[in-house]
Amino acid sequence: MTTICVEMILSSYEEGDDGSPSNPLKFKGQDYEQIKEALLSGGGKFEDELFPANLESLGELEGFTKERLSEVEWLRPHDLNPDASFIMDGVSRFDFKQGKVGNCWFLSSIGALTFRKSLMERVVPQNQSFKDNYAGIFHFKFWRFGKWVDVVIDDLLPTRNGVPVSVSSSSGKEFWAPLMEKAYAKICGSYGDMIAGNPPEAFKDFSGGVHVSYTLSDSPSDLWDIMDRAFQCGTMMGCSSFGEDKGEQIFKELGVVDGHAFAVTKVKRVESEGTSVNLVRIWNPWGRKEWSGDWSDKSDLWTTVSEEDRDECLKVRDDGEFWIKMEDFREYFEDMDICCNSPNFVEGDDRQWNCHMKEGRWEAGVSAGGIRSDIDDFWTNPQYRLTVEVVDGWSEGDKNILVSLMQKHDEEYRSKVSYHCIGCIIYKVPPEAPQGKLPSSVLQYVQPHHVSSLSPVREIIKLHSLEPGEYVIIPCTLSAGQTADFLLTVYSKGEAKLQLSDDY
């Protein structure tokens, strides 16, 4: 079946509302247009007092002694190259390479983002320049907990001996990627606060979309087909290699960097001597260090495919990108993540998926009831009524509902964020249930339809098969009395209604 991907209907905001893509919130209250206009009138260049060019904004960087930190100098792109440009001939994963900051998870995600033209233009406004109306100020847009925010930065970049400390331009002239990294570092609190992470976090912050994760050793047999459909949908896709504990010598001999994040940039099926081979193309944000096994750049196996496929796929260059067959991908890489506007790539269905978002809060002593082992407290958690409508062609077992629960935090520094163990419990509403919240007298005898495992993570996501009817979703923390804000998002194949039970 050909996969047709459509945009979700986002009920969380209307276009033009505060926090919508066309009217993002101003991060830390800074208005890009107003600041730039004032600078152009006064003839100065922007110096961001809220993210100053100093060691505090640089943060703690592994391998940087006090002596090395003292040698860091903040320079503008024109100081590094008189011909500096923001974007040259469009954007590409090959425009940049990772520096000394261990944020491969973020940079591999940018590599995946470059394939999403419309989304890329939203995150990286294209009408910025070092020539026309230049004032040393730039801005970028990210999705943060249900709202889009506009992040303003100056263009002072950390360097040492004239070389960028972090992301650098591959050509030495193009600076959209180093500046985008600086904007995200500002959101995280510092460059050092970007160290260590997983691609889904960046995917979410680039799109607000839904992601599905796969452990490759235990993934569906049709995973390559899922990936193929996902690429047709215009997804972002990434993968990670095993850490040092499993990164045996053979992995290193074959060029797989252990404990590293990569972008998955394409899939392709080729015919090799009468046999179909499913290939996956992977990009290392280092801009070098590639797989050297079967189907690598110098593999003799490329002589067994058609000239057309060879011309399309084979690029023998040290750019960090390589092909690998699906079987080796499953063996030498640990997990993979797909992020898209809609979950329909999972089963190749062309039905519309709708999206419903609700902001909520666990409040100690009021609505933070912990897990269901203490039913008298548990029922006080926020409850959401979900009405699942009949969908033509639906049959038992079909995945038609995806539930995402994301914790919101107000910590300024990403490295200091501490997450509660969170989960969701779903009940089918019994016919005799009252309106509004289900009380403990009902919950104590009704068996849950689903009980998620609880994890100390930013977001948990689960696909469900729910027959038409009425359900209650109860987000909870492991312990009662834990206060936190959260965002509950329900994606439904076909029509569904989601509302707070208090309002039901």
Place of tokens 């809220």: 50
Nearest to 267 by CA among 257, 282, 286: 282
CA 418 from centre of chain: 19
| Residues 420, 195 contacting (CB under 8 angstroms) | no
Nearest to 123 by CA among 102, 137, 109: 109
Distance, CA of 369 to CA of 450 (rounded, Å): 18
Distance, CA of 262 to CA of 241 (rounded, Å): 8
Catalytic residue among 5, 103, 233, 260: 260
Distance, CA of 351 to CA of 3 (rounded, Å): 9
Distance, CA of 70 to CA of 24 (rounded, Å): 37
Give the SS3 label for residue 308.
helix
Q: Which residues contact 61 (CB under 8 A, 6 or more apart)?
A: 69, 100, 101, 165, 191, 192, 195
Amino acid at 101: V
Give the SS3 label for residue 406.
strand
Place of tokens 């459909």: 229
| Active-site annotation holds for 104 | yes
Residues 380-411, buried b or exposed e (16+ Cβ, 10 A)? Answer: bbbbbbbbbeebeebeeeebbbbbbbbbeeee
| Active-site annotation holds for 260 | yes
Amino acid at 346: V
Residue 366 φ then ψ, to 5°: -130, -55
Angle (CA) 340-103-192 rounded to 5° is: 130
Catalytic residue among 5, 198, 239, 284: 284
Nearest to 32 by CA among 101, 135, 108, 105: 135
Catalytic residue among 5, 104, 355, 476: 104
Q: Which residues are designated catalytic?
A: 104, 260, 284
